[in-house]
Amino acid sequence: MPKMKTHRGAAKRFKIKKSGYIKRSRAFKRHILNKKSSKRKRNLRKATGLAPGDAKVVMKMIKIVKR
């Protein structure tokens, strides 16, 4: 079976920390920003973690298989 290729879109969107924690950026910060409060926009700047159920799929896309 051939090697699995890295999903380039996933590789750009997610960062895997040394502890195995996967970081992602938040949604809703691209446009229509004038109706969103400053507090909300400030909180959207921060990165957040990925849900454990989604982490397994992302690990496969980025070719990291835990055994």
What global pTM score does this model have? Answer: 0.76
Give the number of other CB atoms < 10 A from CB of residue 58. 19
Over the stretch 1-47, which tens digit does the pLDDT of each residue have? 888 889 999 999 999 988 888 999 999 999 999 999 999 999 999 99
Please name the CATH architecture into which domain 6-60 falls.
Answer: Irregular (4.10)
More confident residue, 63 or 43: 43
Q: Give the model's pLDDT for residue 65.
A: 58
Over the stretch 40-60, which tens digit does the pLDDT of each residue have? 999 999 999 999 999 999 999
More confident residue, 67 or 14: 14
